[in-house]
Amino acid sequence: MAISKNNIAWGIRIVISFLFLLSAVAKLYPSPYFAISTFEVKQLYPMGFSESFAPYFSRVLIGIELALGFLILQKHFLRSIIIPATILLLFVFTSHLTIETIQNGGNSGNCGCFGSLLPMTPIEAILKNVAAMALLIWLLFIMPKSNEKKDNFWLLTTVTLASILALFMLAPIQPIESSFSVTTPEETTNDTIPETKVDTLKTVVTKDTVKKVDETLKEVVKTEPTEPARHKSGYAQYFPNIDKGRKTLCFFVPGCDHCRDAAKELTELRKTTKNFPEISIIFMNEEADLIPAFFKYAGAEYPYKIIEVIPFWKVLGSGKDTPGIKYLWNGNEYKYYWGITDNKFVLSDFESLINKPYSELKK
């Protein structure tokens, strides 16, 4: 019986160790700084963590997760510290996911438990965590009590500190970039609003002429504008002419397969569409060396700017994901596609959108 319990205990420890190690490593995929920054923007910022504190907290948290994956396999302070700490961490994660599920629903989106390597919805993560906590509680009951006076506390601290230090070395904290803001639709540039030219009344000298001009003015008032008033979108710092005419603004990651597919679809549509809205791209500074390969796959090259990871997520927008594609007309935003779920880019919808005249578009 003792042998059977020992085998079960080791089986549980191996399963929990695998889950924690996989979770920590997955949060570093596809590259440590990119993945951790994504974790901060999508998980910590919405919880109220500041930009200055979130980078430290994220690395410490993932470091502890990594350490527990190793420490669950050793014997020192297993019953009194390691197993309770593991249960506590899972409980905190589960509580957060439960609150998020109640507020936002948990049937879609990636909770980030396994980063972008293994997408998992909040409900799936809750079920996984509850099962893991049940196994750990069972482990407490079947494990024999040990004499903790002989246990080595320095082993725990060394493994934990080494794991946290490894995270800071793999993904060094970079300086906070300047903030990015997008103006509201009300903030238009009056000096660039399209004007309808009408002859002034200074040259009018007869009643008949005045009557004709008056009728002309009435017709002008009834005339619908053919394009929207100019608006400051906030992207002129990247592309000076972005607020002039119809534009397609894209937010891509060079190594993102979904981004590449979206760019390729835009290229194909551009070949068959007259007066296609000019394409401009804001790339995340992650694997920027892949940009030539990105354009080769897309089938064409477009004007682009590269910005750092955290500012990129800010420009993309809170809660948004890549690929991001905006349809702008004189700086006014008429459509924003983002992510790969409900709001994803749909070529047929975009084609219909850009072919609509302003009179239909504004309805």
User: What is the tens place of the pLDDT at every residue in 183-216?
Assistant: 433 333 444 434 434 344 444 445 555 556 555 5
Q: Which of 168, 184, 161 is nearest to 70 (CA)?
A: 161
For residues 336 and 324, the answer to whether their CB atoms sit within 8 Å is: yes
Around Cβ 253, how many Cβ atoms within 10 Å?
25
Residue whose entry in the numeric block shows the structure tokens 């994901």: 321
CA 360 to chain CA mean position, Å: 31
Cα(60)–Cα(81) distance, rounded to whole angstroms? 18
Helix (H) / strand (E) containing 338 = strand 332-338
Nearest partner of 66 among 163, 162, 156, judged by Cα: 163
Q: For the chain, percent helix, then strand, then coil, each to nearest 5?
A: 55, 10, 35
d(Cα 139, Cα 9) in Å, to the nearest integer? 6
Mean pLDDT by 10 residues, the chain (363 residues): 80 96 88 76 74 88 95 93 95 89 69 81 91 95 79 93 94 63 40 40 50 55 75 91 95 91 96 92 89 94 90 84 93 92 91 89 64
Given this model, what pLDDT does residue 146 score? 74
What pLDDT digit, counting tens, does each position of 104-154 carry? 665 666 777 887 788 888 888 999 999 999 999 999 999 887 767 778 999
What distance in Å separates the CA atoms of residue 42 and residue 295, rounded to the nearest whole number? 28
Give the span between the Cα atoms of 157 and 145, in whole angstroms.
22
CB-based contacts of 95: which residues, under 8 Å, 6+ apart?
Answer: none
How far is it, in rounded angstroms, from Cα 220 to Cα 69?
A: 73
The span from the CA of 76 to the CA of 79, in Å, is: 8
Q: What angle do CA 177, 180, 186 make, to 5 degrees?
A: 170
Measure the CA–CA gap between 33 and 39, rounded to whole angstroms: 10
pLDDT at 221 (0 to 100)? 54
